[in-house]
Structure 1
Amino acid sequence: MDFMNGNQDRNEQKANSAASFKAYLLKNNTKNNLNLYDHLTQLLMKVMDERPQNVVDVFEDMSRDVKRGLFEQKQSTLRDLPQTTAAELVAEQQRQLFSRDQEDELVDTPYPNVNETSFYLEQAGVSLGRVEMQRIFLALKQLVDSQALQHCRFWGKILGTQSSYIVAEAEYREGDEDEEQIAEEAAEEEEREGTQENEVDPLPPSTFKPPPVVPKEAIGTGANKFVYYVCNEAGLPWVKLPSVTPAQITIARQIRKFFTGKLDSPVVSYPPFPGNEANYLRAQIARISAGTQVSPFGFFQAGEEEGDEEEETHRDSYEVNLEFEGMPVVEMAEALSSWVHHVQHILQQGRCTWVNLAVKQEEETHDEEEGEDRDEELDEPTQEVGPPLLTPLSQDEEVFNTPPWSSKISSVLTSQHAIAILRSNLWPGAYAYACGKKFENIYIGWGLKYAGEGFSPPVPPLPQKEYPSGPEIAEATDPSLEEEQALKEALEEQQAAQEEMDESDEEEEEDDD
């Protein structure tokens, strides 16, 4: 029994020692999280798979290969490829502004000196910074070289929620107005034809006659006198804005929307705006220009045009007065009568020149079928007349008990070198300065007009009635059983009396015969 117990104890000791030895082999290294048991297992499997002839000589090399195969690279010394940021992309495109292909000739350029304008505006406390103004100056030069414009100037900057718009104002060359008009008419005709082709199952014609559409002004006249180009950053491609229509100006006066910085964004508003953000931007530019583009009195004079004196209010042309010698800065800073509007006023109709919609067009008259009665002529509307061109600012009316303009001098300490500064209170962000024979207008703002203490959007109209209500259309109340019986008896009595009268008439006719 003692012999058997001794063998059992020895077996248990061997088992315990084997377990402790295996536990020792399974102990992980703290550096690389490996253990000898797994390493020997993988090494023996590698020896059995490859079966080298001189396994004793290459055993250490195979052990090294096993360890190298288990090695995982935790940190690479190679740098990741840097991603190009949006600022770097803009800077790459702006670098083209500073490239010089050939020597510039010393000739008159169609764009003004933006750096000089920036110097004077800094005295008024209005500026975008010299760096950005220099980039805008070079961007205008690039625009003039690519589009071959006759005249171009920096109109201003309209801020947006996502990005802003840098606006350049250009003037059409002689002959370009007709080509642009033909191109826009062709584009509108293609759009209408495309809409008609997409209608697979057109709706039945309606008898409703919409009110006449106010025609837009021809390119090069009125609100479409100038063409405008915009870009989000100086150096990015310039985009030409479409011409503005009276409907767009009319709806733009009834809504207030911040710009997003994307021209193709929809304008969600009430009343619905006829167009996208590009059209809304063009309408706001036309409104701002008509209300804030001013010049010293006497700098411009009315252009010579053939016509009656009664049509003086419709003139939109002016020319520089070569005899203008400038006005004192102090006088321009104190009197609003020394400033005038040199852009036509936009009427309530949405045009600068009023058009009579009651007069039928000749084309509509020829399209009427013969023999049909013509519709009654519309009542003759009252002609709307706006202030004439070059009207002094002293005649501008107040809005919400707020004076339309505020003027000051840039410095009272050195008045001999100061400039006159004019600020619009109706369009916050519109400024003008004058110094001798030099003046300039600029707008830097959100593109919204001053609306008083609060803005209340228009209330939607009441829904139209589906049909007129009256006794001839309204359904009568169902009669009771007694009323139906009484009506039936009355009808029978009436029919019997009518038969008796007919029989008596026949008997009288027979007696006469």
Structure 2
Amino acid sequence: MSSMQKDVESYKKLLKGLKSNTGDDLYSHLIEVFGHLMRHYPEDALDKIEEVSYLCKNKDDVNIQEFLKIAEEIRFKTCTEANSEYSFKAGKLFEAPVLEEDEEPPEKAPVGNVPDLITLGRVFEWAGITFGEKEYFLLQKSLAKLAETSGATKIRFWGKIYGTNRDYYIAEGVKEGDEEGEGDEEKPADFEARGTGVNQFVYWVAHDSLSEWTQLPDLFPKYLKVSRDIKISFTGDLEKDIVTVPFFHGKEKHYLRAQIARIHHGTTLVPKGLYRTNEEDLKEIEANEPEDEENKYVPQTENQNHLSNWSHYPKGILQNCRTQHMDPEPEEEDERDPEEILKEIEAKDPYDPRLKLISDDSEVEKGVPAWNIRLHGDKERQKTIRGKTEHNGVIVVKSNRWPGSVTVWKGVNWHQIYVGNGHKYEIKSYFPVHSPYIPEDPEDIEEHPEPNPQEVEAPPANEGEGAAEGDKEGEGNNDE
């Protein structure tokens, strides 16, 4: 027998020799306590050791199985209910219509274009963004079902915005026809109709891949205006009131819709050279398609690794919270031509140039550029089996002005996604700061009456005073 085994046996013998008044030894008590802890409290054994020890010592007066059985049933019931609810929700994405005998399945309406999220997810991983293949698969099924029920012609996964209680998954799509989602609120005169301006796309939100999608209302300029002056965290409740200064006349769904529009119009990019401005109207763009297809410009990975080869795609949002100035309505006393008034308005609130290069964007702050770009993976082209060459590198373009907005380029395609808190990077603080340190008052100086020689009596002369100065030692000796 080894020395370690001898020590173990001696400790066992020592513990068995320590007995209580009832005759129970410490060794048996510890075996019983640790057995219950391993079976019932494996994750919080240290916190439960005193409780279980008390129950074991008082098992004649307390039914220990009742306590442990209840705790075990609660954990099992909670886990079972969660798995059952998850399976039920996930199963609804795959369920087929129930048909009677000899009944033919109904014809399904055509589903709009839904990108392959599983393939895109592998590309987004190069930018450090992933939800897992399982979640992408469920999102893919959920978006396909949304396209079927909503009638949208195009739908894509726009991204995710974090909330304090629940997050928002966001889907972007093109939906024609009725304009739902605005509620009973009357549309203002400066409202941009669906399919144009800030309402070019329709957006839906869900809290996870198994939740129902809720369509967000179309955006009114008044909500966009106030959103530029406030900053508040999302909670995950679309109907929550926004209490800020200045006051926001809407719910969280309106604030969320405004932030989505600001992110979309500020960070959506296209490779340089694919589009050109319209010669007749410089505020519009068109595809750059030459007559000779052989000379058609095709962006390459080597070129797209530079900020100067990326351009802003959508129109910028003006100070009037629209993408287009409205035709002016001159006052009765104003006899100027409406075109002259419109030119004056545009001079005060000019349009951003279309297809503006992101390399021309101003810095976020001193030393911090508006965009970062990086090439991941292969740095050079590789030969294929067919003798051609291809570039397998992945280019990631990240916005510093809107942290979380990412554009990823791979091959000849580019994709965009946003994952963040939905706020713009700003230096200024929206919260009250501590007041500056106020030092304590200094001690007051003792006050004395102002001296007046005419009123103050001369002090009596001390003994020895009045003697001639020459009598002092070392004085009165004149060398002249």
Q: TM-score, normalised by structure 2?
A: 0.62
For the 8 Å contact 1:223–1:286, the answer to whether it is kept is: yes
Alignment counterpart, residue 354 of structure 2, candidates 376, 382, 389? 389
Mark the CA change 1:104 to 1:75 in structure 2 (over 3 Å): closer, same or farther. Answer: farther
CA displacement, residues 49-71 of structure 1 (integer Å, 9 cap, x when unaligned):
xxxxxxxxxxxxxxxxxxxxxxx
For the 8 Å contact 2:231–2:430, the answer to whether it is kept is: no
Mark the CA change 1:237 to 1:300 in structure 2 (over 3 Å): closer, same or farther. Answer: farther
User: 2:193 is matched by which residue type in structure 1?
Assistant: A
Following TM superposition, by how much is the alpha carbon of 1:108 offset from its aligned partner in structure 2, in angstroms?
A: 8.5
Residue 179 of structure 2 corresponds to which residue in structure 1? 180
Q: How does 1:360-375 map to 2 (within 5 A)?
A: none
Mark the CA change 1:266 to 1:320 in structure 2 (over 3 Å): closer, same or farther. Answer: farther
Q: Larger Cα Rg: Structure 1 or Structure 2?
A: 1
Alignment counterpart, residue 95 of structure 1, candidates 91, 113, 126? 91
Mark the CA change 1:100 to 1:119 in structure 2 (over 3 Å): closer, same or farther. Answer: farther
Residue 462 of structure 2 corresponds to which residue in structure 1? none
Distance 1:134 1:226 in 2: 24
Alignment counterpart, residue 331 of structure 1, candidates 303, 309, 322? 303
1:146 aligns with 2:145: no
Partner SS state of residue 119, structure 1: helix
Following TM superposition, by how much is the alpha carbon of 1:455 offset from its aligned partner in structure 2, in angstroms?
A: 2.0
Distance 1:458 1:348 in 2: 27
Residue 288 of structure 1 corresponds to which residue in structure 2? 263
* Identical columns (%): 30
Partner SS state of residue 184, structure 2: helix
Residue 312 of structure 1 corresponds to which residue in structure 2? 282
| Unaligned runs of at least 5 residues, structure 2 | 1-21, 23-61, 98-104, 382-390, 434-480
Following TM superposition, by how much is the alpha carbon of 1:332 offset from its aligned partner in structure 2, in angstroms?
A: 1.0
Following TM superposition, by how much is the alpha carbon of 1:156 offset from its aligned partner in structure 2, in angstroms?
A: 0.5
CA displacement, residues 278-330 of structure 1 (integer Å, 9 cap, x when unaligned):
0000000000000111121233456x8xxx82x431x3x75585955532212
CA displacement, residues 138-188 of structure 1 (integer Å, 9 cap, x when unaligned):
111111111121111111011111111111000123xx1xx328x85x833
Mark the CA change 1:188 to 1:296 in structure 2 (over 3 Å): closer, same or farther. Answer: same
| Unaligned runs of at least 5 residues, structure 1 | 1-29, 31-71, 193-212, 361-373, 460-513
Q: Which has the higher contact order (CA 8 A, sep 6+)?
A: 1
Mark the CA change 1:320 to 1:227 in structure 2 (over 3 Å): closer, same or farther. Answer: farther
Mark the CA change 1:170 to 1:93 in structure 2 (over 3 Å): closer, same or farther. Answer: same
Partner SS state of residue 345, structure 2: coil
Q: TM-score, normalised by structure 1?
A: 0.58
CA displacement, residues 392-436 of structure 1 (integer Å, 9 cap, x when unaligned):
222222232221111010125566310211000000000001223
Q: How does 1:136-215 map to 2 (within 5 A)?
A: 136-173=139-176, 176=177, 179-180=178-179, 184=182, 187-189=184-186, 215=190
User: 1:455 is matched by which residue type in structure 2?
Assistant: S
CA displacement, residues 63-101 of structure 1 (integer Å, 9 cap, x when unaligned):
xxxxxxxxx999679967935656753442123223455
CA displacement, residues 413-472 of structure 1 (integer Å, 9 cap, x when unaligned):
5663102110000000000012232111100000010002x424699xxxxxxxxxxxxx
Distance 1:266 1:114 in 2: 34
For the 8 Å contact 2:308–2:357, the answer to whether it is kept is: yes
Residue 369 of structure 2 corresponds to which residue in structure 1? 403
Alignment counterpart, residue 112 of structure 1, candidates 76, 101, 115? 115
Instruction: Give every structure 1 segment of 4 or more consecutive aligned residues whose post-TM-superposition deviation is greater than 6 Å.
Output: 72-81, 102-105, 374-379
Pairwise CA RMSD: 3.6
Distance 2:254 2:197 in 1: 17
For the 8 Å contact 1:327–1:436, the answer to whether it is kept is: no
Mark the CA change 1:215 to 1:417 in structure 2 (over 3 Å): closer, same or farther. Answer: same
For the 8 Å contact 2:242–2:248, the answer to whether it is kept is: yes
Mark the CA change 1:264 to 1:433 in structure 2 (over 3 Å): closer, same or farther. Answer: same
For the 8 Å contact 1:94–1:236, the answer to whether it is kept is: no
Partner SS state of residue 115, structure 1: helix
Alignment counterpart, residue 455 of structure 1, candidates 429, 438, 441? 429
Mark the CA change 1:358 to 1:446 in structure 2 (over 3 Å): closer, same or farther. Answer: same
Distance 2:232 2:135 in 1: 26
Alignment counterpart, residue 324 of structure 2, candidates 336, 345, 353? 353
Distance 2:94 2:206 in 1: 18
Stretch moving more, 133-142 or 271-280: 133-142
User: 1:342 is matched by which residue type in structure 2?
Assistant: Y
Partner SS state of residue 409, structure 1: strand
